[in-house]
């Protein structure tokens, strides 16, 4: 119990003094994770007005906020389409469509297809992660499964030249996820944005162009 309290205290200290937390608060982003997507997508101009994008595991909504900021036109209207999906509820974001539910379920996919009216996506982004147990092997397997779900979703919904940005973890499943992605994407590159803490095992994958 004492060790847990110490860890919580250390996390709180780091969180309060984290420059990305401060920037997120100032910018109105719901989480510091916003800057992870910005650092990955902005240098290559991947998020632009007119695209159609789905945000998997969107709650609390910081990635959807980034998408909105990059796609909003001069009169404050989104140019393109942003659809956010999550099992958890998410506070509304102007111009972002939200579907609450598990995208593995037929009813949720049917609702998505209805909204897309048969059109394909330019981009899929996923900051999803499973509930972690602390057991490395079990957590690696869970994360691999989540990554496979995101890749499968992207393959089924992206345009041929579409883009997937996805969170993953360094660990025993890392090479498996990269291998799976390379089977279906022409370009697969890892990204470790500065906003991702050094001690965190998380990294991100940028995949472009379906084979």
H-helix or E-strand spanning residue 149: helix 136-157
Does residue 8 belong to any structural domain of this protein?
no
Per-residue pLDDT at 14: 56
| Range of the structural domain that residue 156 is part of | 31-210
pLDDT in tens, the chain (211 residues): 444 444 455 544 555 568 888 888 888 999 999 999 999 999 999 999 999 999 999 999 999 999 999 999 888 889 999 999 999 999 999 999 999 999 999 999 999 999 999 999 999 999 998 887 878 788 888 999 999 999 999 999 999 999 999 999 988 889 999 999 999 999 999 999 999 887 788 999 999 999 9
Structure tokens at 74: 């001069």
Main-chain dihedrals φ then ψ at residue 165, nearest 5 degrees: -115, 120
Q: For residue 130, what is the domain's CATH number? A: 3.40.50.150
Does residue 20 belong to any structural domain of this protein?
no
Per-residue pLDDT at 2: 43
Per-residue pLDDT at 7: 44
Q: Rounded to a whole number, what is the largest CA-CA distance in the chain?
A: 55
Does residue 69 belong to any structural domain of this protein?
yes
Per-residue pLDDT at 11: 40
Per-residue pLDDT at 172: 81
Does residue 92 belong to any structural domain of this protein?
yes
Among the options 5, 167, 186, 192, which is catalytic?
167
Does residue 171 belong to any structural domain of this protein?
yes
Main-chain dihedrals φ then ψ at residue 186, nearest 5 degrees: -75, -35
Q: What angle do CA 148, 154, 159 make, to 5 degrees?
A: 155
In DSSP terms, 165 is beta-bridged to: 125, 206
What is the C-alpha to C-alpha distance for residues 42 and 39, in angstroms, rounded to an integer? 6
- Side-chain half-sphere CA neighbours of 94 within 13 A: 8
What is the C-alpha to C-alpha distance for residues 10 and 20, in angstroms, rounded to an integer? 17
Which residues are part of a known binding site for S-adenosyl-L-methionine? 61, 63, 86, 102, 127
Does residue 198 belong to any structural domain of this protein?
yes
Burial of residue 180, with CB atoms counted within 10 A of its CB: 0-12 exposed, 13-18 middle, 19 or more buried: middle
CB atoms inside a 10 Å sphere around CB 13: 10
What is the C-alpha to C-alpha distance for residues 170 and 8, in angstroms, rounded to an integer? 23
Does residue 9 belong to any structural domain of this protein?
no
Angle, helices 34-41/19-27, rounded to nearest 10 degrees: 90
Q: How many domains does the chain have?
A: 1
Does residue 11 belong to any structural domain of this protein?
no
| Close Cβ partners of 29 (under 8 Å, ≥ 6 residues apart) | 23, 35, 62, 65, 66
Which residues are part of a known binding site? 61, 63, 86, 102, 127
The yes-or-no answer on residue 167 being catalytic is yes
């Amino acid at each position: 119990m004492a060790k847990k309290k110490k860890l919580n205290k250390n996390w709180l200290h780091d969180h309060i003094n984290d420059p990305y937390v401060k920037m997120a608060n100032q910018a109105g982003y719901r989480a510091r994770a916003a800057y992870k997507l910005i650092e990955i997508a902005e240098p290559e101009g991947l998020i632009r007005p007119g695209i159609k994008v789905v945000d998997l595991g969107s709650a609390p909504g910081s990635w959807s906020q980034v998408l909105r900021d990059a796609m909003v036109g001069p009169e404050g209207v989104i140019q393109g389409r942003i659809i956010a999906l999550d099992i958890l509820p998410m506070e509304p974001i102007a111009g972002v469509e939200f579907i609450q539910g598990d995208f593995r379920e037929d009813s949720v996919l049917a609702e998505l297809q209805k909204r897309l009216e048969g059109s394909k996506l330019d981009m899929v982004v996923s900051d999803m992660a499973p509930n972690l147990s602390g057991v490395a092997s079990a957590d690696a397997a869970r994360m691999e499964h989540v990554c496979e779900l995101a890749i499968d979703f992207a393959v089924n919904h992206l345009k041929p030249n579409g883009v997937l940005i996805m969170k993953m973890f360094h660990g025993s499943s890392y090479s498996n996820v990269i291998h799976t992605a390379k089977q279906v994407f022409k370009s697969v590159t890892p990204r470790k944005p500065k906003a991702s803490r050094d001690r965190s095992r998380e990294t991100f994958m940028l995949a472009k162009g379906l084979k």
